[in-house]
A and B are shown apart, each in its own frame.
Chain A
């Protein structure tokens, strides 16, 4: 029989953290928290809600989760919005805006708004705020996207919706926007109990390494990322070659889902070409549901890369640090919050920089051990699901005190 969630988390984060969550949950009391997003499976938000809602419920908070409906045109539109908010220019048409409005109207008729606090995740369901004039309640817009430099046309379309909320939540200070409502920062998190992050025994790691023809006797350098130029996989291969000229090693470039992403497929081809049949470069296109294998690949690694040219938060960095791996990452976005330079890994600006730091790490087992331990502690204190849950509960309390910096919650 599986132990209760609270007990499982306590084994990872300790009793003090869990007691703190219980205290805050008591303050949240009977306030109902209703989450609404656009998909029940796939993607980071569904993953977060699937983990967070059960934990909140076990803490005694009445948390629920609903999903909006939409047709293909709507989801193509919101995917374009997503890309535009990331700063990629799109061709915004009247047809797209009409599809967004129509789908919002349909969901406004169909969704049963049961929460005292209604959490709307990302742009797809943002238009549901229209219900506020009818039913009241408190509304939070939780933006999980990197909106540090959004396409202005799409942002101007969304902003009037966002301004009607009681509060907006962003993942990093860089994402804050000019809004008329309070904005809070809630950093992303990983779940230490998920297949992607839980402890694995050595035999599982061996099996996965052997499945992908990796030699655990020689250093393994790994980058886990979708095949996207912004993740600089070609730069990672360049760094590997510089290292390989001086020290034997293997490279793993593993990522998922390029099927609905023509650019991803193109990048994958470029990466395969750049690998030039080097038997020590392993380019792995992993299907959905490969979490356990990804976990094992990272655990089998000696050094992990996240050499992004642009990055939102970079949860792959969090996941590698949690596994006590030193991470070499691009000096961009949320990677800077996670790689404390020289302490949990190294921030670099070029393939040459990545190679230099890799050589340094490969030559020093004690340095790798120390950095790995630091990275694990850094994630434990700042980027685990339990901290995310705490922040969500505090936002529930904050909404009732919009003008106070100090709230006495006796």
Chain B
């Protein structure tokens, strides 16, 4: 008997406010240690889902704030270059961000700006509702036709959220493909860097790999 089909889900989200805010880097550091894990995830990821009129230089809120609100460009660059693929848990991601900010603060002599009133960093998080889309891929080959039909939010859920927020170690497609014995396709899909692509480009990359492997 074949393994079960792949059911596509999608996500709807509300932004939850934590009332934690930072006026300067010292406060940001303290808050980074205390804020909920879902808040760290939110501020490193929510921009990937937003519509952009211009492709952003960085997607990470901490980097954006370090540059725009407290004018610490060097720190912004160090935070902006973080390779989110390296992380399989929010704990690791948080520790890395904390270490970068701590190191930066060590190198400066406290001559740091505070954000102007109204430009403080407000920690938020998202509350996500996972709902079935009704779209189903019966076999690995069906990914070639179903992936283009799903929304970007659905793709984001299965590729990005599943791996880091749900801590499933891989994306949902690769996990499912392994159950079908499609090991090399699973491996190649898992090696795509979703953070370097738009979600539309990610769809195309997955479909291209399915065609390349000629799975049935």
Residue positions of A touching B, CB distance < 8 A: 16, 20, 23-24, 27, 148, 170, 173-174, 176-179, 182-186, 332-333, 336, 340, 343-344, 374, 377-378, 381, 390-391, 394-395, 397-398, 401, 404-410
Contact = CB atoms under 8 A, between A and B. Distances in A.
B51 A23 contact: no
Contacts of A401: 127
A119 to B, nearest CB: 15
Contacts of A391: 14
Interface of B: 12-19, 21, 36, 38, 51, 53-54, 118, 120, 122, 124-132, 151, 165-166
Contacts of B36: 405
A401 B127 CA distance: 10
Nearest to A167: B16
B128 A406 contact: yes
B14 to A, nearest CB: 5
Contact of A394 (B12, B118, B165): B12
Nearest to B12: A394
Contact of A408 (B14, B124, B130): B130
A374 B13 CA distance: 24
Given A176-B19, A177-B19, 15 more contacts: A24-B131, A173-B17, A176-B17, A176-B18, A176-B21, A182-B16, A184-B16, A186-B14, A340-B53, A343-B54, A394-B14, A406-B130, A406-B166, A407-B130, A410-B132
Given A183-B16, A185-B124, A332 B118 contact: yes
Q: Which 7 A-B pairs have the closest CB atoms?
A: A173-B122, A176-B17, A176-B19, A183-B17, A185-B15, A405-B38, A343-B53
A405 B161 CA distance: 12
13 contacts: A20-B12, A173-B124, A174-B122, A176-B18, A176-B19, A182-B16, A183-B18, A333-B118, A395-B14, A397-B129, A398-B129, A405-B38, A407-B129
B49 to A, nearest CB: 11
A16 B18 CA distance: 31
Contacts of A16: 151
A183 B19 contact: yes
A381 B51 contact: yes
A401 B165 CA distance: 18
Contacts, number: 89
B127 A405 contact: yes
A10 B60 CA distance: 34
Given A177-B19, A406-B166, A398 B127 contact: yes
A398 B14 contact: yes
A284 B14 CA distance: 40
Contacts of B118: 148, 174, 332-333, 336
A242 to B, nearest CB: 25
A407 B128 contact: yes
B187 to A, nearest CB: 27
Of listed A173, A333, A404, A408, residue having the most chain B CB within 10 A: A173
B131 A184 contact: no
B14 A184 contact: yes
Contacts of B125: 405
Contacts of B122: 173-174, 176
B17 A185 contact: yes
Nearest to B54: A343
Nearest to A311: B118
A341 to B, nearest CB: 10
Contact of B15 (A184, A378, A404): A184
A409 B14 contact: no
Contacts of A344: 53
A179 B53 CA distance: 36
Nearest to B36: A405
A407 B131 CA distance: 9
A238 B128 CA distance: 47
A310 to B, nearest CB: 9
A320 to B, nearest CB: 17
Nearest to B53: A343
Nearest to B125: A405
Contact of A405 (B12, B21, B128, B131): B128
A332 B116 CA distance: 11
Contacts of A179: 19
Given A176-B18, A184-B14, A390-B12, A407 B53 contact: no
A230 to B, nearest CB: 14
Contacts of B18: 176, 183
A407 B127 contact: yes
Contacts of B54: 343
A342 B21 CA distance: 27
A395 B51 CA distance: 23
Nearest to A16: B151
A378 B50 CA distance: 10
Contacts of A374: 53
Contacts of A332: 118
A405 B166 CA distance: 11
Nearest to A182: B16
A286 to B, nearest CB: 30
B53 A409 contact: no
A394 B129 contact: yes
A225 to B, nearest CB: 19
A132 to B, nearest CB: 22
Nearest to A183: B17
A173 B20 CA distance: 10
